[in-house]
């Protein structure tokens, strides 16, 4: 049975002291708790080392929000997989809709990042999702299928075993709108079916597929109860310990 995974994507929020306070609160609250899911926090680059110092002796795992696909070089402002590993990261979010839309990252670029992360020993949280226009235009499954096939090119079954897929309908990110549990489950079923076509049914059944898109304490339990929804990639609700913990504790 797939274990649920709840990850918090802090995006560009918090200062140093606030970041340390948040991870400390999470760690203290989860001590000796019988967790039913894995918990990952993904602070901005500048707080990763400090966050690792706090969580390294706990069950909380550390992830980054992005990385470059090259190992090193003249790439001002970029961060490599090895740099992330050196400060304690185990995971990295790749292909987030904000990276795709605002920074115009292509499927090809995201694929390079996925393969570079795997080569360095990081576990990608690989994001896919459709816009409202694409959904209403009947293109949702085409978009998701393309993002999966192009983003996972040259990834073998062993590599896929280290990847978490995060389905995040773009129209539900930071808008307060949420896909209904049935809408989310339909998309997750399609993702799992497509993974079965790319790899095989065994790989598809083992893959953790998170839902991301305005996940909050009041809708987490209903979403996480769905058969193919294996966790959550949480945005705004992860910025306060109390609300993030409510989502973590909603895992069945």
Question: pLDDT tens, 13-30?
Answer: 999 999 999 999 999 999
Token representation of residue 178: 């949420």
Burial tier of 190 (Cβ tally within 10 Å: 0-12, 13-18, 19+): middle
Domain extent at residue 40 = 4-248
Per-residue pLDDT band for 177 (boundaries 50, 70, 90) equals confident
Cα–Cα–Cα angle for 182, 184, 188, nearest 5°?
115
On the question of pLDDT at 84 being above 90, the answer is yes
CATH of the domain at 74: 3.20.20.70
Please tell me the predicted confidence (pLDDT) of residue 114: 98
On the question of pLDDT at 115 being above 90, the answer is yes
**Alpha-carbon radius of gyration of the chain:** 17
- DSSP reduced 3-state for 81: helix
- For the chain, how far is it from start to end, CA to CA, in angstroms? 12
Give the CA count within 13 Å in the CB-facing half-sphere of 245.
15
The average pLDDT across 107-136 equals 97
On the question of pLDDT at 127 being above 90, the answer is yes
The average pLDDT across 6-12 equals 98
Per-residue pLDDT band for 246 (boundaries 50, 70, 90) equals very high
Tens digits of residue pLDDT in 31-80: 989 999 999 999 999 999 999 999 998 999 999 999 999 999 999 999 99
Token representation of residue 43: 């602070």
- Pairing mode, strands 60-64 and 231-234: unpaired
On the question of pLDDT at 1 being above 90, the answer is no
Q: Annotated catalytic residue: which of 52, 68, 96, 188?
A: 96
- Our answer to whether residue 168 is catalytic in this structure is yes
Domains in the chain, number: 1
Helices (H), 155-240: 157-160, 181-198, 201-206, 217-224
Please tell me the predicted confidence (pLDDT) of residue 20: 98
- Pairing mode, strands 231-234 and 37-42: unpaired
Q: Annotated catalytic residue: which of 98, 134, 168, 185?
A: 168
On the question of pLDDT at 178 being above 80, the answer is no
On the question of pLDDT at 168 being above 90, the answer is yes
- Our answer to whether residue 188 is catalytic in this structure is no
Pair 10, 42: CB distance under 8 Å: yes
The average pLDDT across 89-111 equals 97
Please tell me the predicted confidence (pLDDT) of residue 179: 85
């Amino acid at each position: 049975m797939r274990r649920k995974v709840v990850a918090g994507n802090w995006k560009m929020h918090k200062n140093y002291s606030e970041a340390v306070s948040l991870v400390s609160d999470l760690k203290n609250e989860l001590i000796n708790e019988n967790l039913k899911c894995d918990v990952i926090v993904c602070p901005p680059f500048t707080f990763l080392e400090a966050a690792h110092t706090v969580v390294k002796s706990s069950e909380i795992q550390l992830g980054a929000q992005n990385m470059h696909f090259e190992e090193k070089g003249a790439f001002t402002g970029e961060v490599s997989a090895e740099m992330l590993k050196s400060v304690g990261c185990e995971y990295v979010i790749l292909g987030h809709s904000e990276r795709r839309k605002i920074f115009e990252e292509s499927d090809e670029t995201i694929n390079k990042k996925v393969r570079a992360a795997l080569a360095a020993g990081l576990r990608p949280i690989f994001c896919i999702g459709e816009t409202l226009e694409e959904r209403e235009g009947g293109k949702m499954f085409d978009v998701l299928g393309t993002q999966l096939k192009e983003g996972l090119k040259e990834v073998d079954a062993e590599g896929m075993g280290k990847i978490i897929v995060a389905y995040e309908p773009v129209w539900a990110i930071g808008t307060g709108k949420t896909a209904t549990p049935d809408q989310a489950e339909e998309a997750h079923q399609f993702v799992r079916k497509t993974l079965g076509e790319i790899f095989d049914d065994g790989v598809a059944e083992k893959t953790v597929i998170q839902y991301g898109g305005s996940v909050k304490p009041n809708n987490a339990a209903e979403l996480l109860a769905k058969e193919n929804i294996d966790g959550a990639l949480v945005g705004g609700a992860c910025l306060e310990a109390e609300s993030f913990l409510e989502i973590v504790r909603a895992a069945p």
